[in-house]
Amino acid sequence: MKIYDDLTVFLHAAIKASVSAGLRALEIYNRDFAVDTKSDDSPLTQADRDAHKIIVSCLQTFDLPVLSEEGRDIPYDERRGWERFWMVDPLDGTKEFVKKNGEFTINIALIHEQRPVLGVVYVPVLRRLFFASVGMGAFCCDILDASTVLNASMDQFMRSSRRLSVGATGDRPYTIVGSRSHATPELEAYVAEKRRQHDIVDFISAGSSLKFCLVAQGKADVYPRMGPTMEWDTAAGHVVAEQAGAVILRADNGLPMVYNKPNLLNPWFIVTAKD
């Protein structure tokens, strides 16, 4: 089996799954909804649960395992032998969803031998879709009508999409993007150091995997994550940023990020488009 054989088929399915889940999430977002609390004190809504069910249903045709934030806890002894599987965050940025600031996303990635090779990030409120796969590049599309995606071939869909590149910076100051809901002293120290290195530094706060996408679009130069994330938080955005030309490395040792670790907690990392 070739490592990246026909990723387009997988990508097309992931795009449809993300948009379908996004439609359901928006239905709940636009009304009153209950907020539960998980064992780690993070919020959980019906949108998280429903999006998970929709995505799993859409992807089951491939007969691949699905590792989802809202799925069952799968022990490493079971998943250590997975060569290829789906990594899903049905609703990334539930805190932003609850705050109703629009900065939540649907994240779907395909992992092959501990590397994310395909990623889809859908922003339901903006109706904006980011997607990428190894060998194809990274793209973005604004979706005015979901049926144009759900009923379109991949070729038709690609014609309405635009390629992303971290080089599309334009004339702007050095720009850092960081977490809206998870600021840390380490991030503040990182920003302070960059302010000493550059004449002018802008800082953008953003929720969910939108931070990866801002780097991929060339709207930010670096996304330093000096705080905890899980693998499903980052896998899809990782592919989008990487295929747009960014580099994603661990902050502690400069090595690449890997997935399907025994502990699904990520190390701190830095997404950078330039030195």
Domains defined for the chain, CATH in brackets = 7-163 (3.30.540.10), 174-272 (3.40.190.80)
Whole-angstrom distance, CA of residue 81 vs CA of residue 74: 12
Closest CA to 98 of 27, 146, 45: 45
- Tell me the three state secondary structure of residue 206: strand
pLDDT tens string 172-199: 899 999 987 667 888 889 989 999 999 8
**191-218: average pLDDT:** 93
> Which range among 165-179, 224-238, 257-271 shows the weakest confidence by mean pLDDT?
165-179
Give the phi and the psi of residue 117 in degrees, each rounded to 5: -115, -5
Angle, alpha carbons 110-115-119 (nearest 5°): 35
Q: Among 3-17, 23-37, 64-78, 126-140, whose mean pLDDT is lowest? A: 3-17
Three-state DSSP class for 106?
strand
Q: 160-169, 179-188, 265-274 — which one is most confidently predicted on average? A: 265-274
Beta strand pairing call for 115-123 and 128-133:
antiparallel
